[in-house]
Structure 1
């Protein structure tokens, strides 16, 4: 087993069990071997058999725990260790494992009880702190408007431990502080604790976080001088670059006085002198903090009394003079530049140009020029360019990029080239041109330049992020996926970053490839279920109470992640689409678990959005959309999108079971109606709707078909029950026909695709949406047919309804035929020869981009264009197959 030879391990276990069928350890080891082989169901079945025997020996329990932990099954672990601990009450390890199994499933009340029992039996202080922590965690879930008796209980227990001298470590002190600060108006008590005997004993002042907390508490209780002295001590003696402490220092200056008194305030004069002293004390390698503090101080003064505008501008220019070659310079100053008026912002950039010119003779010069270019874009100097000026700037930036390449010849492969940001900024301008002209040639030019830059900076993730987004806009999912897969996304990044590749991944028609990306990204949620509970357990084991809340919050953020919900819904769509027959799709829907398919407002509002939308470099002017927002193929999926793609499978599942109409089904239909009413209509000019036109149309079509099913189902139930209120079959047929006619009319609204040489995302989204819609309709039509064909309705009562359904099925097939016609035409357009003679010619003929005109880059451009074409072809081939299978 330890060598990974699980098959042999299973054979050995079988031999042992043959001789001794009740040999629990052998059976547990066999379960472990099954789990390691990927046969989880078989492993859990064996575990269940052992659980009935209620084993109490530690080897069996330990082995079972390994299997159950892997499967995220914590409740059986709790019961196993609870039983074993009660059988052997003097076995400390069993009791500890009982507590830990409760900790894994966040059963705080159960933890409290077991921890107190541990303390009673084994008299160790750590167990009492476990109990107090468990009570505290319960207290955090008490509503704010209710008295928190749990915090009060935890405080009494902690006070007793402190009185008895049993609070001895920083972590135990922090637990005490968590309890106090979790209650209203207890800052003074928390401060007294920090400054008291226990704070001295644990050397709390040497802990960075507790030192910061003490100053914050001093400010909150109004001990301004003590707080000021503490911040000054930290900045003078420990770290002058501690920005949090610098901000605390300013709080002690500005909060105690009225704005009208600021000009004559001794505090202000003292602050200016103190910050100047910090600046003077910086040596040959100065830290940024004191210099930024000068700017921050004068900015606050300007905001309050407005008499030092020139001072702020001078400090900004001086800061750039000292740190302008650092990458962080833009991030440091942009918040201040954004507060300048237009004239001063232009003056700032003009002074930089006058001071530093345009020389790029050293690596430092290159970094300075890049920062100047960033600020020029940030203040809007690139926003009003006409197409000729914009293209000239693209060529200038690319020339600067190429001129910087020789300086990076000796760089390691993992390092970025010094001029990479020139290439990225050039791509940003090309994105602007695309947005302005609606032409896709600028985006193609951007991909050629960025791909070339990427060959010199193979690990520059900023280049890769822009490329991924541009490829998606160009409809080339395979190209985007290839770049994304080189980024080595790990751990929690799957939650924060995967939206770059998974959002509407189903829209490209490459269902298997999209599913692969979603499965890969989804691993973080599975590991969260198994690994984070272990982190919480370790926090108890080593009494790191300060980290406990972080681990629990981390687990909650992942468990309730918006991205997790989006990925779940997208996987359901793709798995449904992969079913190759209507019969298979109906069976798949019948087996679909809907326990987690929630859509109510409370559920949606409780989701946590961890998606990182700020990771992409962005130098766009303040108030304008970021590059990340501008390069989205469609609006980011949120609550409305989640609700739609939760309602669709739930409605279809109800139909698949041929279930009678109940309150749940009516609620689903009502929810879909409300969603359609509240979402932006097709004709609206509001481009910020979460749903695309195609998605909104899908919602309307599903609503009509759902109502048709509802009408027919109710009529059949009434007919079969001989109810006196049963509907006239002719009226039922008319109602059903009306709903299906409305759905058919919506189906016909899809516009035929016209190729302009490029097949953007919108093209594939329209084709895929049409195929997906008909796939849902095929299921709905079959369910309607099955309803009519039930034994009680063979007298032909609903013959007219059946005819309406058959007519609608013909219209669905016609819709797919139209898709097929479009796909066949597009396949001819994207053949390699057609691309060479068509799109490539259009790109290169008379191009204004120097990079594209260069003969040395023609092979590179052709290669990238053909790869984009190959991705288009792969999407079209798959869509054609899907359309054909949908007509069978």
Structure 2
């Protein structure tokens, strides 16, 4: 980069766009035919807000694309920043068609990897395939990838596998398992199952099979109904390779039944978890009673944590009454970890057989008794080891909230969990429940404290940050917490892309499909989209243009991938969706939140919007829905001057929904939504002087300012006092609570937790005073 270019980009970075344009004009005068400076000039126009002019001057480059990579790369960035994502994808494709140089083709290929777009990868690699054997392998593999897409067209599903197969055959003889992997995956797509075993086995030459090829081989014999070979190879895998894999046991059982051969001896010769499970599978396949096999399994592994999930998968075929009767006859003292896990498993089987137990006080009391009998084992365990006895506590919590999902029971649950954490500070599920329950009662700072303790890293942010970040802008608006969470998506743009490029260069094809899918899931993550919206809202609430500009440059996807793990909250206990799931997760929005708030952003940025009749607003809180209606009515009024809409707008200002009277996340959400809405309308009205008559404009401004002042001056102060009174009332209600007493939790400990709840709510109100 020349010194002049450096100077231009520094001016852009500093926001001195006029100076940047003057510098660019000078360079252009000396180099009138240089496409890079022409694109750079358009880029400056876009940065300075002259988007219409920037678009008009940039679109001709699609028809007549430049040949130098710098111009093409800057043009892609320009279209992305203008929100013209389809056009950004066309830049390299059009350049490749016109210029056909290797540098453009290779850069286009890498661009496809960066976008996790296998259609681009396929087109670019097909354009390079005649240049080297490696590029042929890329082309063949990418044909498989495109045909395997969930949205692949009929042409892609039928034509591309044939094209890929023809391309891989040009690489023969194939040199390693990775190349065989490409061919057999394409054979699967073209229906050439008969060829797959020969392709795999002629390459292996008696050596131990690659794991991926081994899975494909067994699956192929199963689909071909080649029972002799299915038996032979599943037996080789289990006995010769000593790979005790349950799916292979299932293949062995199926093949021997089909061949009318006995399998009992083979199973009995093994004494492993999977061989014991294989007996249950054999019973199922032969339509036999499972009880004896279940008893045999439990005698062998009933004191292991794997026992419940293993047996659960067959529970619908088991005589549960008979099983529970047998369990009652077994010793059940809790003298060591084995006895503890046995009792945990028994309790799980009881609850699985009768989920109504969760609504029973007897069930709570039984779990309290078991917890009290087991907690002595905490003293002998390592700090970071998992303690199975915590599941009794989680059963108590789930039961309390099943009986009544109320503020009292939420706080009762928090008190129990906080006291358990003192004894077992590293237990993940206890803290995760605390995070969610604290979030529901407007205690962001306390939820954040526990979340930080979990030391969430890397991709865990994408599957777990919904518990702390989804509505950050209206819970505790701050950019620092958001930046920590968003870092995983920035890393994905660099690290995952880097690994995928290495994967192609090294020919690691059996890993690449999942890696590209992983990259795509992060690119289109629902949480990533939530966080972009939170960033825009936080910037507005804090009056911080730098934050707004940072998140404005990021793409909000139309189609999203939901990678969030909610199941983790109930994968303890009986691992079934909770009856109160919707109430528990009420503060965490889904995909429709993105669609609605995208419209919200377009209104604020004075873009044309279309609102479909079937727009789903179910993810909006009461106040968010009020805000959305108010803003859309204002938008339509400015466009149409419809006086009925003006009446509705004025009524909205007088019909602001009441805030909850109880401890609730909707208090801060409601107040901050009002503040953000009034600030946004202030901005819209300031830019609409020529579009609304003076009287109407004055009335709307007055209503808006009045609501903003009332919220700041009265609502926040009143709510703070309401919460103080609520805490006093709860202290009284929970004095000498029977459940707390049974768990040996005294009033002093209870009062301390209530004080923490009050302080955390005060922190939430304190931030409101700064907005």
Answering whether residue 583 of structure 2 is matched by residue 641 of structure 1, we say: no
1:854, CA displacement in angstroms? 4.3
- The aligned residue for residue 112 of structure 1 is 125
- Paired with 1:530 and 1:615, the residues of 2 have a C-alpha distance of 29
**Selected match of 1:710 from 635, 639, 659:** 639
Answering whether residue 717 of structure 2 is matched by residue 824 of structure 1, we say: yes
> Is the alpha carbon distance of 1:240 and 1:594 closer, same or farther for their aligned partners in structure 2, counting shifts above 3 Å?
closer
Contact 1:522–1:564, Cα closer than 8 Å, also in 2: yes
Give secondary structure in 2 for the equivalent of 1:361: coil
TM-score (norm 1): 0.70
Give secondary structure in 1 for the equivalent of 2:456: coil
1:222, CA displacement in angstroms? 2.3
Answering whether residue 650 of structure 2 is matched by residue 741 of structure 1, we say: yes
1:516, CA displacement in angstroms? 3.2
- Paired with 1:145 and 1:100, the residues of 2 have a C-alpha distance of 25
Give secondary structure in 2 for the equivalent of 1:849: helix
- Paired with 2:143 and 2:169, the residues of 1 have a C-alpha distance of 14
- The aligned residue for residue 486 of structure 2 is 522
Answering whether residue 398 of structure 2 is matched by residue 428 of structure 1, we say: yes
> Is the alpha carbon distance of 1:878 and 1:631 closer, same or farther for their aligned partners in structure 2, counting shifts above 3 Å?
same
Answering whether residue 741 of structure 2 is matched by residue 777 of structure 1, we say: no
> Is the alpha carbon distance of 1:253 and 1:779 closer, same or farther for their aligned partners in structure 2, counting shifts above 3 Å?
farther
Answering whether residue 627 of structure 2 is matched by residue 698 of structure 1, we say: yes
The superposition leaves residues 452-477 of structure 1 with CA deviations (integer Å, 9 ceiling, x where unpaired) of: 32233332211111111111122211
- Count of residue correspondences: 714
> Is the alpha carbon distance of 1:787 and 1:739 closer, same or farther for their aligned partners in structure 2, counting shifts above 3 Å?
same
Equivalent residue runs for 1:556-575 within 5 Å: 556-575=520-539
- Paired with 1:398 and 1:762, the residues of 2 have a C-alpha distance of 35
> Is the alpha carbon distance of 1:349 and 1:779 closer, same or farther for their aligned partners in structure 2, counting shifts above 3 Å?
farther
Equivalent residue runs for 1:802-841 within 5 Å: 802=697, 804-806=699-701, 809-810=702-703, 813-814=706-707, 817=710, 820-830=713-723, 838-841=729-732
> Is the alpha carbon distance of 1:836 and 1:469 closer, same or farther for their aligned partners in structure 2, counting shifts above 3 Å?
closer
Equivalent residue runs for 1:124-203 within 5 Å: 125-134=133-142, 136-137=144-145, 143-145=153-155, 148-162=158-172, 165=173, 167-183=174-190, 185-195=191-201, 197-200=202-205, 203=207
- The aligned residue for residue 60 of structure 2 is none
Contact 2:536–2:547, Cα closer than 8 Å, also in 1: no
> Is the alpha carbon distance of 1:102 and 1:558 closer, same or farther for their aligned partners in structure 2, counting shifts above 3 Å?
closer
- Paired with 1:41 and 1:312, the residues of 2 have a C-alpha distance of 77
The superposition leaves residues 21-43 of structure 1 with CA deviations (integer Å, 9 ceiling, x where unpaired) of: 79x9xx99xx9xx9xxx99999x
> Is the alpha carbon distance of 1:639 and 1:829 closer, same or farther for their aligned partners in structure 2, counting shifts above 3 Å?
closer
Contact 2:148–2:157, Cα closer than 8 Å, also in 1: no
Answering whether residue 439 of structure 2 is matched by residue 486 of structure 1, we say: no
Equivalent residue runs for 1:661-680 within 5 Å: 664-665=608-609, 668=610, 670-671=611-612, 673-675=613-615, 679=617
**Selected match of 2:353 from 375, 379, 389:** 379
Give secondary structure in 1 for the equivalent of 2:734: helix
**Selected match of 1:356 from 323, 326, 331:** 331
- The aligned residue for residue 309 of structure 2 is 331
- Paired with 1:544 and 1:592, the residues of 2 have a C-alpha distance of 35
> Is the alpha carbon distance of 1:852 and 1:771 closer, same or farther for their aligned partners in structure 2, counting shifts above 3 Å?
farther
- The aligned residue for residue 765 of structure 1 is 669
Answering whether residue 248 of structure 2 is matched by residue 245 of structure 1, we say: yes
The superposition leaves residues 606-635 of structure 1 with CA deviations (integer Å, 9 ceiling, x where unpaired) of: 42221112223446668763676552134x
1:738, CA displacement in angstroms? 2.2
> Is the alpha carbon distance of 1:232 and 1:752 closer, same or farther for their aligned partners in structure 2, counting shifts above 3 Å?
closer
1:450, CA displacement in angstroms? 1.9
1:368, CA displacement in angstroms? 0.8
Answering whether residue 238 of structure 2 is matched by residue 235 of structure 1, we say: yes
TM-score (norm 2): 0.80
Q: Tell me the C-alpha RMSD between the 2 structures.
A: 4.5
The superposition leaves residues 483-524 of structure 1 with CA deviations (integer Å, 9 ceiling, x where unpaired) of: 11122222221211111212223342x111xx4333222212
1:753, CA displacement in angstroms? 4.4
Give secondary structure in 2 for the equivalent of 1:787: coil
Which structure would you say has the larger Rg? 1
- The aligned residue for residue 413 of structure 2 is 446
- The aligned residue for residue 276 of structure 2 is 291
1:538, CA displacement in angstroms? 0.8
- Paired with 1:644 and 1:517, the residues of 2 have a C-alpha distance of 24
- The aligned residue for residue 414 of structure 1 is 384
Contact 1:394–1:429, Cα closer than 8 Å, also in 2: no
Answering whether residue 540 of structure 2 is matched by residue 576 of structure 1, we say: yes
Answering whether residue 437 of structure 2 is matched by residue 470 of structure 1, we say: yes
- The aligned residue for residue 50 of structure 2 is none
Answering whether residue 604 of structure 2 is matched by residue 652 of structure 1, we say: yes
1:216, CA displacement in angstroms? 0.9
The superposition leaves residues 253-305 of structure 1 with CA deviations (integer Å, 9 ceiling, x where unpaired) of: 67x6xxxxxxxxx73xx3xx41x3244223xxx32101111112223444xxx
- Paired with 2:137 and 2:216, the residues of 1 have a C-alpha distance of 22
> Is the alpha carbon distance of 1:549 and 1:494 closer, same or farther for their aligned partners in structure 2, counting shifts above 3 Å?
same
**Selected match of 1:870 from 742, 754, 759:** 759
- The aligned residue for residue 614 of structure 1 is 567
- Paired with 1:39 and 1:615, the residues of 2 have a C-alpha distance of 45
- Paired with 2:157 and 2:752, the residues of 1 have a C-alpha distance of 69
**Selected match of 2:691 from 773, 787, 790:** 787
- The aligned residue for residue 347 of structure 1 is 322
1:367, CA displacement in angstroms? 1.3
1:532, CA displacement in angstroms? 1.9
- Paired with 1:404 and 1:499, the residues of 2 have a C-alpha distance of 34
- Paired with 1:70 and 1:451, the residues of 2 have a C-alpha distance of 49
- Paired with 2:754 and 2:185, the residues of 1 have a C-alpha distance of 59
**Selected match of 1:843 from 726, 731, 734:** 734
Contact 1:323–1:329, Cα closer than 8 Å, also in 2: yes
- Paired with 2:15 and 2:515, the residues of 1 have a C-alpha distance of 27
- The aligned residue for residue 542 of structure 1 is 506
> Is the alpha carbon distance of 1:645 and 1:594 closer, same or farther for their aligned partners in structure 2, counting shifts above 3 Å?
farther
Contact 1:753–1:822, Cα closer than 8 Å, also in 2: no
Give secondary structure in 1 for the equivalent of 2:314: helix
1:654, CA displacement in angstroms? 0.8
1:566, CA displacement in angstroms? 2.2
> Is the alpha carbon distance of 1:877 and 1:287 closer, same or farther for their aligned partners in structure 2, counting shifts above 3 Å?
same
- The aligned residue for residue 696 of structure 2 is 801
- The aligned residue for residue 661 of structure 2 is 754
1:86, CA displacement in angstroms? 11
Equivalent residue runs for 1:196-345 within 5 Å: 197-200=202-205, 203=207, 205-239=208-242, 241-252=244-255, 267=260, 270=261, 273-274=262-263, 276-282=264-270, 286-302=271-287, 308=288, 311-340=289-318, 344-345=319-320
Unpaired runs of at least 5, structure 2: 29-33, 38-67, 82-87
- Paired with 1:589 and 1:69, the residues of 2 have a C-alpha distance of 22
Give secondary structure in 2 for the equivalent of 1:654: coil
> Is the alpha carbon distance of 1:736 and 1:405 closer, same or farther for their aligned partners in structure 2, counting shifts above 3 Å?
closer
Contact 2:125–2:135, Cα closer than 8 Å, also in 1: no
- Paired with 1:463 and 1:377, the residues of 2 have a C-alpha distance of 20
Mean CA deviation greater in 423-432 or 365-374 = 423-432
Contact 1:78–1:102, Cα closer than 8 Å, also in 2: no
- Paired with 2:494 and 2:75, the residues of 1 have a C-alpha distance of 10
Contact 1:95–1:118, Cα closer than 8 Å, also in 2: no
1:848, CA displacement in angstroms? 3.7
- Paired with 1:648 and 1:393, the residues of 2 have a C-alpha distance of 51
1:444, CA displacement in angstroms? 2.2
Equivalent residue runs for 1:506-521 within 5 Å: 506-508=473-475, 510-512=476-478, 515-521=479-485
